[in-house]
């Protein structure tokens, strides 16, 4: 998301990323939320290494241990790297990676500790850590989840942490708690089998002095805005959706700031000021996880579970119910779509005119971002049991993709598959990397690793 401004959503259809001038994140420097500025997953202006060796230190600036389950992604502001974690009272927390279909939750009623860490971006030295709370989790988690799935969000003044049923918290960047808010029990799990609790996964976003939370749960789902200074609720809009795990995205369309959300029954857009619905789409997969991504006047939404696995390229000017009839690929509001081939866990990457969709099984499909023409489709790893949860990011004409078993694949961006390198991270990777000033910050299970030259 940085010096790239490959996010030229500024021209077409009058659609721009909505960034507050008062505390605008700096492209190439700040990575303030899940997938960085605008959730685009892109940072230009500084080149990253393509090859490294975690074991012998080649192109490794630093490595820092982080206890607990390493699932929430790092965020960066200036010279600070922030991350959250949840630490079980059991020595073996029961994380299980790979392709499998076990829907049962982890049975762990020990006291957990929720923490926030701040590290020096240049050296990896711990600047501070805070224990947010100690408690037995109110909701169980999936075997591929933690109780701190949600990525932090920052605007350079505040750091927002969302721990689902354990609450919403605000800190300053020196670690002083500013406020906390109890949002009640937020029970996210498989809606067809509610006993299978999987914990929340949507991350907060922070924009123009407001914190936005999407809480799609078993009962009383909602989208809400809170005052970032005080935690006071500004508005709350009920959502008629089952549990979902996608993070909202902010987009400005013809002077109106919109909140984009994924969903099963209700993907769509809401007015940032009021929470009023702008458009909706209901022909989706039934366990939505990917975050909406916007670029050049189009909004890309995908999901893949149950009978549907669509990809939609939606015009940013959409209004009303835009759900197409079965068998219809386009309408006045949908530029193109495909019924099968969507992404289950990974958020799409739109980069240099192409849309990258990575399947849970590691099959990469690349489309022309404007027309939907498929350029190629190919499996990224020979190991058919490898799963992909971490979302792709891009820099300087290269795409970085991590598998759950810790293989970081580097591709040349373009309409044909060109592999540049494959690097072993030495541990599982489920979190999405952050990029800042020529470094790639990868959270593995147990560490944050800064890939790049020492400075």
Does residue 264 contact residue 289 with C-beta atoms inside 8 Å? Answer: no
Whole-number Å distance between alpha carbons of 238 and 381: 42
Indicate the pairing of strand 334-338 with strand 311-315.
antiparallel
Tokens of 120: 């020096």
Each residue's pLDDT expressed in tens, for the chain with a length of 455 residues:
333 333 333 333 334 444 444 479 999 999 999 999 999 999 999 999 999 999 999 999 999 999 999 899 999 999 999 999 999 999 888 899 999 988 999 999 999 999 999 999 999 999 999 999 999 999 999 999 999 999 999 999 999 999 999 999 999 999 999 999 999 999 999 999 999 999 999 999 999 999 999 999 999 999 999 999 999 999 999 999 999 999 999 999 999 999 999 999 999 999 999 999 999 999 899 999 999 999 999 999 999 998 999 999 999 999 999 999 987 899 999 999 999 999 999 999 999 999 999 999 999 999 999 999 999 999 999 887 899 999 999 999 999 999 999 999 999 999 999 999 999 999 999 999 999 999 999 999 999 999 998 66
Does residue 121 contact residue 93 with C-beta atoms inside 8 Å? Answer: no
Tokens of 400: 């970085």
pLDDT score for 455: 60
Does residue 221 contact residue 167 with C-beta atoms inside 8 Å? Answer: no
The answer to whether the predicted template modeling score (pTM) of the entire model surpasses 0.75 is: yes
Residue 148 burial (CB count, 10 A): 30
pLDDT score for 3: 35
Domain boundaries 12-339+440-451, corresponding CATH code: 2.130.10
Please name the residue that has the structure tokens 């699932």.
71
Whole-number Å distance between alpha carbons of 300 and 338: 12
Q: Within its chain, how far is the Cα of 393 from the centroid? A: 11
Does residue 322 contact residue 281 with C-beta atoms inside 8 Å? Answer: yes
pLDDT score for 72: 97
Indicate the pairing of strand 419-424 with strand 393-395.
unpaired
Domain ranges of the chain: 12-339+440-451
Whole-number Å distance between alpha carbons of 217 and 57: 43
Whole-number Å distance between alpha carbons of 84 and 149: 8
In Å, what is the CA distance from 443 to each residue of 343, 391, 402? 22, 12, 11
Please name the residue that has the structure tokens 């959409």.
318
Q: What's the helix, strand, coil split of the chain in %, to 5?
A: 5, 40, 60
Partners of 338 in the beta sheet? 311
Burial level of 340, CB count in 10 A (0-12/13-18/19+)? exposed
Whole-number Å distance between alpha carbons of 384 and 388: 11
Q: Of the candidates 14, 5, 8, which has an alpha carbon nearest to the alpha carbon of residue 255?
A: 14
Does residue 141 contact residue 105 with C-beta atoms inside 8 Å? Answer: yes
pLDDT score for 207: 96
């Amino acid at each position: 998301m940085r010096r790239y401004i490959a996010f030229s959503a500024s021209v077409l259809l009058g659609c721009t990323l909505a960034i507050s001038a008062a505390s605008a994140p700096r492209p190439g420097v700040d990575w303030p939320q899940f997938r960085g500025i605008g959730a685009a997953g892109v940072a230009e202006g500084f080149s990253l290494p393509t090859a490294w060796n975690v074991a012998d230190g080649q192109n490794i600036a630093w490595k820092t241990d982080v206890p607990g389950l390493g699932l929430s992604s790092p965020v960066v502001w200036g010279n600070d790297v922030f991350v959250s974690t949840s630490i079980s009272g059991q020595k073996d927390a029961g994380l299980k990676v790979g392709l499998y279909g076990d829907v049962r939750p982890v049975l762990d009623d020990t006291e957990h500790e929720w923490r926030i860490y701040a590290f020096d971006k240049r050296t990896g030295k711990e600047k501070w850590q805070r224990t947010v709370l100690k408690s037995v989790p109110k909701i169980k988690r999936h075997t591929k989840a933690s109780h701190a799935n949600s990525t932090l969000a920052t605007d350079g003044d505040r750091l927002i942490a969302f721990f689902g049923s354990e609450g919403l918290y605000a800190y300053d960047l020196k670690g002083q708690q500013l406020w906390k808010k109890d949002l009640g029990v937020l029970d996210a799990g498989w809606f067809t089998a509610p006993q299978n609790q999987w914990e929340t996964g949507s991350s907060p976003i922070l924009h123009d002095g407001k914190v936005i939370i999407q809480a799609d749960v078993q009962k009383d789902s909602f989208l809400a805005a809170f005052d970032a200074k005080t935690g006071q609720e500004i508005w709350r809009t009920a959502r008629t959706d089952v549990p979902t795990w996608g993070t909202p995205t902010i987009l400005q369309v013809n002077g109106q700031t919109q909140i984009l959300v994924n969903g099963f029954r209700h993907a769509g857009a809401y007015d940032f000021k009021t929470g009023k619905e702008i458009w909706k789409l209901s022909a989706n997969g039934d366990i939505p996880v990917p975050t909406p991504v916007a670029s050049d006047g189009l909004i890309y939404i995908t999901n893949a579970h149950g009978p549907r696995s669509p990809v939609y390229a939606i015009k940013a000017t959409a209004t009303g119910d835009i759900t197409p009839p079965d068998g219809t690929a386009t309408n006045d509001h949908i530029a193109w779509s495909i019924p099968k081939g969507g992404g289950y866990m990974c958020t799409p990457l739109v980069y240099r005119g192409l849309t990258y969709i990575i399947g849970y099984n590691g099959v990469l499909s690349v489309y022309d971002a404007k027309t939907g023409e498929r350029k190629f489709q190919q499996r990224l790893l020979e190991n058919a049991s490898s799963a992909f949860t971490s979302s792709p990011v891009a820099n300087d004409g290269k795409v970085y993709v991590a598998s759950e078993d810790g293989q970081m694949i580097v591709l040349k961006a373009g309409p044909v598959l060109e592999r540049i390198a494959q690097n072993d991270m030495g541990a599982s990777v489920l979190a999405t990397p952050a990029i800042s000033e020529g470094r790639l910050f990868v959270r593995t299970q147990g560490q944050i690793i800064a890939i790049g030259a020492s400075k």
